[in-house]
Structure 1
Amino acid sequence: MRLSGITPSGHAQLGNYLGAIRRWAADGGERDLYFISDLHAMTTAHNPARLRSLAEETLAALIASGIPAERVFVQSDLTAELGALTWVLECTCTYGEAARMIQFKEKAGGQAGVRLSLLTYPVLMAADILLQGASEVPVGEDQNQHVELARALARRFNSTYGEVFTVPRAVLPLAGARVRDLADPARKMSKSTKDSAGVVFLLDEPELIRRKIRRAVTDSHSIPGYQPDERPGIANLLEILAACTGRAPGDLAGEYPTYGALKEATAEAVVETLRPVRERTTELLTDPAELARIRKEGAARAAERGEHRLSSALRLIGAG
């Protein structure tokens, strides 16, 4: 079983959808799980009301994209279970292991006011994984070290107190679309960027999507060509169009005589690709009772899946 999470640090955007969410809906196994990791978004300063709203929006977007509701849950709905298991794992982890995490070193940067949660959240991530019994966790290089910590803690607990946890392994996610910022193709499109001019969000209206793509950075050439290293702006548009149409970006390059024609085709492909997702997400967000029902049932299923592991861990470590 695979477990994947998405942090609601901003509005879900085109890169999230083409690179991961759409693939989760199409290719996910019957036992695979997906969760909105809103607790992870609390390690730095945040607006509580906005975080709550973003978590709801992200949940709606996952369901609207076609992921079965029974395979989705919101992390904070398991606060009691995760809090208890995180404490058990913190009592299994050493300070040195936590402090060696690369992301902590990079984000802390020697600042005195860094939140303790920035140091300990990899243990919370381990609790996310171990509570659900995930055997595989698709992660990029930046999160691989955290999965290794989860593996180490699972092994240590099992050997010290008794067999409870599945030892997970990190797996590379299936290759998804590589979507770059339209205004700065040197960086990837991000939901947490401060400048949204080059970011297409899932809930953007069609005309706004068209306007953003028409203003996309290109280069001094006049004819489209697929050369990712030399011409990243045009390559980005071709890759987005390819992801929306199921064709190869190199093949598409020769079909458009001008940059304007390519931008118009890309804009229309993105609008039509996102249209059903945007409409269904909006529908769910305007029906809070239905979204609350989906969320409550997802939380109950997630808690039930982890109940025996948590109770066994607490009993074996002497807390139950």
Structure 2
Amino acid sequence: MMIRSVRTYSSSISNAAVFPSGSTVFSLIQPTGKIHLGNYLGALSNWRDISNDERNSESRFIFGTADLHALTSVTDPAKLKNSRREAIASLIAAGIDPERSIIYHQSSIAEHSQLSWILTCLTSMGALNRMTQWKSKAKVEETDSIFGDEILGKTKAGVLCYPVLQAADILLYKSTHVPVGDDQAQHLELCRNIASIFNSTYKSNFFPMPKSLFTANKKIMSLRSSEKKMSKSDVDQNGCLYITESPDQIAKKLRKATTDSIQGRLYFDPEERPGVSNLINIVSGLTRKSVEDTVKDLEYMRSHKQLKDLVTDLIVEEFKDQRLVYEELMKDVSYIDQIADRGAEKAKKIASVNMRAVEKLIGLD
């Protein structure tokens, strides 16, 4: 299949992180359907920049779908199958090159689950209980404990043990760097603790301590409510902007974006001006400039309409090629499956070697 080439991003490459030769950079994305602006600025644009940078040609990049993790919330088989393909199409449309990076489905590699069980046997219930994300998924308070009878009864084991599988994902490839958002920092710290426990238990230095690679872009909030992150599950879908939307749809959502009643100069203040600050964050992410430099660039503006028009133009231009590539890919899902299968073959070669080494260390060889 011939697909339209996604334009290069030379202006952003110079700002991309550079890794020591031989590094392994790993991250997965939830297969929850089409990618929105928050996903793109918070993860995909960064993945593209670092993996396409020639200075990182001696490093390995592994990206894919966290489809095993999706089982904690998705129960419709047809929906999951389609969402997995949409996620792969989104990665490629965003500019991640399957010839330079491994792109695959997590579930294609059985070693993920195998290593997860081994690491689960080394992880304390207390450590899992201290994680905050399972509480969000289980819709309980941050101060609640898994050991309460009511919470224990309604919380699925997969939700509680999610961070161990996440650690196995990372450690299976002996990853050295993991691009993460602020909300995943706690999970990566647990991953390092689990790696340390394994190395200590089996008197080895087998697993490296993966480093967090925080994205330069801040969290992108809903266009309609600056109190919550942009999300596909938002009841008000005017607050969530997808990379597949048409210019007219993008313009319509930006016209409805929440700002404030303050007139005159635009400035960045998430507490006093959350809506305006969210739009400034979006401009910062799309132009690959710091918030400070972005505010300087916007000094001439005196109205919310000017800012919304600029954001609209930037998003339309950024996603113009991506939308077309995504549409072409989704017309030929067999091509998407081929890319995922080729990526799985490459991932399997790494995973199987590392898994045999783990088995030898723990006495299962």
Assess same fold via TM > 0.5.
Answer: yes
Aligned to 2:248: 207
How many residue pairs get matched?
319
Q: CA deviation at 1:304?
A: 0.8
Aligned to 1:92: 122
Name the aligned partner's letter for residue 124 of structure 2.
T
Identity fraction in percent: 36
| Distance (whole Å) between structure 2 residues aligned to residue 10 and residue 234 of structure 1 | 28
What SS does the aligned partner of 1:158 have? helix
- Aligned counterparts, 1:140-289, within 5 A: 140-161=181-202, 163=204, 165-223=206-264, 225-228=266-269, 229-246=271-288, 248-289=293-334
Q: CA deviation at 1:162?
A: 5.4
Name the aligned partner's letter for residue 167 of structure 1.
P
| Distance (whole Å) between structure 1 residues aligned to residue 359 and residue 219 of structure 2 | 43
| Distance (whole Å) between structure 2 residues aligned to residue 49 and residue 135 of structure 1 | 35
Deviation >4 Å, runs of 4+? none
Of 100, 105, 113 in structure 2, the residue corresponding to residue 74 of structure 1 is 105
Aligned to 1:290: 335
Which moved further from structure 2: 2-11 or 270-279?
Answer: 2-11
Q: CA deviation at 1:76?
A: 1.6
Aligned to 1:25: 48
| Distance (whole Å) between structure 2 residues aligned to residue 231 and residue 203 of structure 1 | 29
Name the aligned partner's letter for residue 276 of structure 2.
I
Q: CA deviation at 1:237?
A: 2.3
- CA gap 1:288/1:158 in 2 versus in 1, 3 angstroms: same
Aligned to 2:5: none
Task: Write the deviation string for residues 162-189 of structure 1: whole angstroms up to 9, x where unpaired.
Answer: 5373232342413125422111123222
What SS does the aligned partner of 1:254 have? coil
Gaps of 5+ in 2: 1-23, 141-150
| Distance (whole Å) between structure 1 residues aligned to residue 170 and residue 34 of structure 2 | 24
Q: CA deviation at 1:291?
A: 1.0
| Distance (whole Å) between structure 1 residues aligned to residue 227 and residue 135 of structure 2 | 24
Aligned 8 A contact 1:3 1:137 in 2: yes
Task: Write the deviation string for residues 48-85 of structure 1: whole angstroms up to 9, x where unpaired.
Answer: 3222222211111111222121332221221x211211
Aligned to 1:48: 77
Q: CA deviation at 1:222?
A: 4.2
| Distance (whole Å) between structure 1 residues aligned to residue 74 and residue 336 of structure 2 | 27
Task: Write the deviation string for residues 18-54 of structure 1: whole angstroms up to 9, x where unpaired.
Answer: 2321121112343132222121122235433222222
Aligned 8 A contact 1:130 1:165 in 2: no
- CA gap 1:19/1:95 in 2 versus in 1, 3 angstroms: closer
Aligned 8 A contact 2:33 2:82 in 1: no
Of 134, 143, 150 in structure 1, the residue corresponding to residue 175 of structure 2 is 134
Name the aligned partner's letter for residue 97 of structure 1.
A
What SS does the aligned partner of 2:224 have? coil
Name the aligned partner's letter for residue 107 of structure 2.
S
| Distance (whole Å) between structure 2 residues aligned to residue 148 and residue 259 of structure 1 | 40
| Residue 27 of structure 2 is aligned to residue 4 of structure 1 | yes
Aligned 8 A contact 2:105 2:344 in 1: yes
Gaps of 5+ in 1: none
Question: CA RMSD for the aligned pairs?
Answer: 2.3
| Distance (whole Å) between structure 2 residues aligned to residue 71 and residue 102 of structure 1 | 30
- CA gap 1:208/1:306 in 2 versus in 1, 3 angstroms: same
| TM-score normalised to structure 2 length | 0.79
| TM-score normalised to structure 1 length | 0.90
| Distance (whole Å) between structure 1 residues aligned to residue 206 and residue 64 of structure 2 | 19
Aligned to 2:360: 315
